[in-house]
Structure 1
Amino acid sequence: MPSTSAGAAPALAEPAASRRGLLAVWGPGLIVMLADTDAGCLVTAAQSGAQWGYALVLPQLLLIPILYMVQEITVRLGVVTGKGHGQLIAETFGRGWGVVSVVPLVASSIGALLTEFAGVAGAGELFGVSPWITVPVATAGLLAVGLMGSYRRAERIGIVVGLAQLLFVPAMLLARPDPAAILSGLGRIPIGDQGYLLLLAANVGAVIMPWMIFYQQTAVIDKGLTTGDLKRERRDTAFGSVLTQGVMIVVIVALAATVWTHHGNKALNTVGDIATALAPFLGGGAAAVLVGLAVLGAALVAALVVSLAGSWGLADVFGWRHSLNERVGRSNWRFFLVYGLIHVVGAALVLASVNLVQLAVEVEVMNALLLPLVLGFLLALEAKALPREHRMRGPYRWVVTALCVVVIGFALSMVPQAVTAL
């Protein structure tokens, strides 16, 4: 089966790896984590803060190590084997299982991309710009980034754009949250409330998503990382894990300190609703700018990552060449065609009008329900596809496995309620 990029051989350590600059290694972990806090995640966090106050802050903290551990396995699989996630599943367990593996990827990618374009549309409307302008312009821009012939350039553009979501930090500071209320909220876990559990499932699904695994495993290959870069890429992933969950917490706190504190349980149905709800506390102009630009940046970086992950995953399983470091040609036109179609179809569906908040929560719940399959494949590959010296060992293996089992168990326990609610 063709390799993800230049060759199928496992990446070997390079003597000069330790002398490479930070930007030569860091990036795949940061961009995938910025994409993790996408438009859907931001509105899920906003809904969490508006409806449950600070009760969903603690789960965000507890998810940081789980998120890191999952993506760290992904990094090792990509760097050591030199193969994408779908390709590795197909080669290890058979083509049929490879096809099965892309089912949750495609479902998650389509749902996520719809929320990203809906986020772009909603952000534009805050400034009086029609979705018929913002969505096509965003689509054209994303297509251009993917066709530049350079993974590193695409990555850097994505990171710069994605950092706009940090504008929620000044929004939180302007909301003036009460530290005592936050500490009190950390101990409030209404586990017996079905509405809380459903939103908790959405938050879990907003943290670990199938497309993240497919993206980062191929990204470290396209960037040319080797086993000598593993320690630095682990730090890249750890930093990104803390950053993305920090953003989620910031959004929850901002909405809890304002909407929940003064109005109780309040539903938010659009990006405009979020800005409007914050306007009395931040000022109308500040709320529109901070919320609009933060959601726009998050949506754009996620749209880039999601569409690449879906395209890479399909290309992996069906054996198409698919490196961003190559221009469109006879050997890779299928990959770029899928990449283009994903954007065009997603944009068209969103222009047909979508309720972003409801869609976001439903997509994240769906992601949580897909976790058993996604994490099951990941743990199986770690045990079978990696050489013994690169596998998890000792207590760390048991901790990672136990945490994955807990997440899988929670996802399975939510199936009946999720099916009824959705």
Structure 2
Amino acid sequence: MAAPIRHLNPWMRFAVVAGPGLVVMLADTDAGSVITAAQSGAQSGYRLLLLQVVLIPILFVVQELTVRLGVVTGHGHGHAIRKYFGARWAWVSVLTLLVACVGALITELSGIAGVGALIGIPGWLSMVIVVVGLTIMAVRGSFLSVERIALAVGLFECVFLYVAYKAGPDLHLAMTQAFDVPVRDSAYLYLVAANIGAVIMPWMVFYQQSAVVEKGLTVADLRAARWDTAIGSVVTQVIMGAVLVAAAATIGRTATGQSLDTVQQIAQAVTPFLGEINGTLMFALGMIGASLVATIVLTLTAARTLGELMGFNHQLAQSPRQAPWFYGVYVLTLVLGGLLVASGVDLVRLSVGVQVMNALLLPIVLGLLFMLARRALPEPYRLKGVYAVVVAITIVLTAGLGLCAGIAGILS
């Protein structure tokens, strides 16, 4: 891919290179993240709003390392760990990934089923439509077509910005509560861990590194790929903040501390100023966009990473005949996720719990990412000097805060 765009100006190069960063960031604002943000606004008002801003540079620092590793080494994350740290650590990282993927996929599909219930579609039918549709998309599409579909559905999340605006937030109260940090409140700490886990997820690291490799990006595209990641980091956190604000301005104002139990309840809570029909439609579009783009990313990540580790073909450019195991894992993951959703799991409680689990897994994921950036990259691109110290401090503080807050919340 690098040859045709070598002589393009920076804007044209960005237009061609952009995609992996925006897709993974839109997937980051998935059903579980939307629900976690809504729960945060309902239970703590605007007190977790500042955290959404603080997480923007942290998210960029983490994902930029995956971009650098992908374009410079040409290896996916699982392959790179196996090459530089051996099969044992590769399997530890992949098992960590699979645990995160399974938990997240259930929340995505449950979110879709919940939206279907809003408009009268049975859960089983929603799952059939999603599994069949995404299977056809993968089997019949190329990497670029799948990426464009993911971007298109993910952009529906932007309706949450309008929802937040129409909810009529109190800006003075928002500023006051944003700087109110009740560090002794175990429920608040649990939500802190959930929000950290909702923003920095293990599968994001694996997906973006593999995606830039499959797209054929090279070191000549590194600057544009970084901008792709930076813009996506801002977009995903603006959407998270919008959901939190909408919930804080509605149910957080009238029934502070109330726990949300279903997607339908969240829809009713955050859309009262839009009218019943418009509110339901806009919430449904946002949640469908969030859930679908994350489902695409999660299933591709699981199939690609297992392919990298076990040595079977694992790219969308290859046909099902050329990569039967890749497509088999992809479809099996979707089907199993759909069947688990039919078990009637409590989506809101599961979603927040999955984000806390992500936070608890961060020391392993971010630790391996940092060591790869120090060992796998050649001298011009290696993580070193003052920036390496900054990244190390950022990773230790983020992983440590997520771990401590998660444990404190669980023990309470």
TM-score range relative to shorter protein? over 0.9
Match of 2:391 in 1: 400
- The offset of 1:280, in angstroms, is 3.5
Q: Judge which range, 287-296 or 248-257, deviates more.
A: 287-296
Whether 1:40 and 2:32 are equivalent positions in the alignment is yes
Given candidates 95, 99, 107, the residue that maps to 1:107 is 99
**Matched residues in 2 for 1:200 and 1:148: separation?**
41
Listed one character per residue, the Cα deviations across residues 97-154 of structure 1 (whole Å, up to 9, x for unaligned) are: 1111101100000001000000000111111111121111011111112112410100
Structure 2 residue 134 is the aligned partner of structure 1 residue 134: no
Contact 1:365 1:418 in 2 (8 A): no
The secondary structure found in structure 2 opposite 1:281 is: coil
User: What is the CA–CA distance in structure 2 between the aligned matches of 1:14 and 1:141, rounded to whole Å?
Assistant: 32
The 1-side partners of 2:278 and 2:386 are apart by: 48
Amino acid at match of 2:119: F
**8 A Cα contact 2:189 2:409, kept in partner:** no
Pair 415,243 (structure 1): closer, same or farther in 2 beyond 3 Å: closer
Partner letter of residue 293 of structure 1?
L
- Would the aligned equivalents of 1:146 and 1:324 in 2 still touch at CA under 8 Å? yes
SS in 2 for 1:280: coil
Q: 1:152 — aligned with what?
A: 144
Q: Aligned residue for 2:73?
A: 81
Could you tell me which residue of structure 1 aligns to residue 318 of structure 2?
326
**Paired letter, 2:88:** G
Could you tell me how far apart the structure 2 residues matched to 1:420 and 1:143 are?
41
Tell me how far apart the structure 2 counterparts of residues 221 and 211 of structure 1 sit (CA, whole Å).
16
Does the 8 Å CA contact 1:89/1:98 hold for their aligned counterparts?
A: yes
Maintained 8 Å contact 2:375/2:382:
no
The aligned residue for residue 317 of structure 1 is 309
User: Are 2:236 and 1:236 equivalent residues in the alignment?
Assistant: no
**Counterparts of 2:99 and 2:276 in 1: how far apart (Å)?**
37
Q: Distance in 2 between matches of 1:272 and 1:299?
A: 15
CA distance in 2, matches of 1:283, 1:47: 22
Q: Which residue of 1 aligns with 2:355?
A: 364
- 1:220 and 2:212 correspond: yes
The amino acid that maps onto 2:263 is V
Gaps of 5+ in 2: none
Conservation of the 8 A alpha-carbon contact between 2:356 and 2:406: no
For residues 8 and 410 of structure 2, what CA distance do their matches in structure 1 show? 49
On the 8 A contact 2:193/2:403 being kept in 1, the answer is no
Structure 1 residues 342 and 202: CA distance shift in structure 2, 3 A: same
Mapped partners of 2:393, 2:230: distance in 1? 20
Report the CA distance shift for 1:256/1:92 in structure 2 as closer, same or farther (over 3 A): same
Q: Which residue matches 1:3?
A: none
The 2-side partners of 1:371 and 1:280 are apart by 37
Counterpart selection for 1:161 from 153, 162, 165 = 153
The answer to whether the aligner puts 1:374 opposite 2:365 as a matched pair is yes
Which residue in the other structure is 1:347 paired with?
Answer: 338
Q: Matched residues in 2 for 1:54 and 1:379: separation? A: 33
Match of 1:296 in 2: 288
Deviation at 1:314, TM superposition (A): 1.1
> Could you tell me the TM-score, scaled by structure 2's length?
0.96
Distance 1:418 1:262 in 2: 25
Choose from 269, 275, 292 the match for 2:267.
275
Which one of 211, 229, 242 corresponds to residue 250 of structure 1? 242
Amino acid at match of 1:363: V
CA–CA distance in 2 between the matches of 1:99 and 1:288?
43
RMSD: 1.7
Query: After the TM superposition, which segments of 4 or more aligned residues of structure 1 sit over 6 Å from their partners?
Result: 11-14
Specify the alignment match of 1:183 in structure 2. 175
Does the residue aligned with 1:282 lie in a helix, a strand or coil? Answer: coil
Alignment partner of 2:272: what SS? helix
**Percentage of identical aligned residues:** 45
Post-superposition shift, 1:415?
5.3
C-alpha distance in 1, partners of 2:270/2:223? 41
Asked if 1:338 is matched to 2:329, the reply is: yes
Deviates more, 1:390-399 or 1:216-225: 390-399
Cα gap change, 1:169/1:415 in structure 2, threshold over 3 Å: closer, same or farther? closer
Unaligned runs of 5+ in 1: 1-5
Q: What is the aligned residue count?
A: 411
- Once the two structures are TM-superposed, the CA of residue 55 in structure 1 deviates from its matched residue by 0.2
Check the 8 A contact 2:360/2:402 in 1, yes or no: yes
